[in-house]
Chains A and B, each alone.
Chain A
Amino acid sequence: AQSVTQPDIHITVSEGASLELRCNYSYGATPYLFWYVQSPGQGLQLLLKYFSGDTLVQGIKGFEAEFKRSQSSFNLRKPSVHWSDAAEYFCAVGGKDYNTDKLIFGTGTRLQVFP
């Protein structure tokens, strides 16, 4: 079965510092990979996605993620964090699971940004 692990429950960074949020997945074939962001009191917004091709994908708000098949990882990065990036971030993997198309979410990483 598919699964997604986000090992960091909570991360704190200073404004202007770089950021990397970790995501590891378990899936037999090449998965569809997503990062979503949830600001307080809001729904989930798609940051970026990987379906195939270039393993470094660019998203909105200056985020990027790199698909590494050998490590089963899809880590999210941003070179310089802004205070408005404080939110919860979810990694998700999509594809066939027992012949059903579904999206499996990680448990999320809460990002806190200090001025």
Chain B
Amino acid sequence: EAQVTQNPRYLITVTGKKLTVTCSQNMNHEYMSWYRQDPGLGLRQIYYSMNVEVTDKGDVPEGYKVSRKEKRNFPLILESPSPNQTSLYFCASSLSSVPLEQYFGPGTRLTVT
């Protein structure tokens, strides 16, 4: 089944404790992206990747890192999480960047205390 998977689905952590949210797609998509969803703000892009070893900042990249060592994986890293990073995170992938028809993972709900 073609899908985007994320792990973990739920995570509660403390301020400053490094964490990684994994994202994997099995559709051989070139483009991958991370979003955060906050009430009243919709989805905002954190980082995206056009292909392996190519990543770039989205609209809200501060406090996050990403890597794209393999085509299928695009982990999101929070080196020192803070409470304002409490949010619902989505990974998405697309066959290409134009048009950007994205398929979304199920989401990871992160709480930072």
Contact = CB atoms under 8 A, between A and B. Distances in A.
B35 to A, nearest CB: 8
A93 B52 CA distance: 25
A9 B42 CA distance: 11
Contacts of A105: 35, 42-44
A109 to B, nearest CB: 11
Contacts of B40: 107
B48 A43 contact: no
Do most interface residues of chain A lie in helix, strand or loop, or is the interface mixed?
A: strand
A102 B100 contact: yes
Interface residues of B, number: 27
Interface of B is mostly: strand
B56 A100 contact: yes
A101 interface: yes
A7 to B, nearest CB: 13
A11 to B, nearest CB: 16
Nearest to B59: A102
A111 B48 CA distance: 30
Interface of A: 32, 34, 36, 42-46, 49, 51, 90, 94-95, 100-103, 105-108
Interface of B: 4, 31, 33, 35, 40-45, 48, 50, 56, 58, 90, 92, 97-107
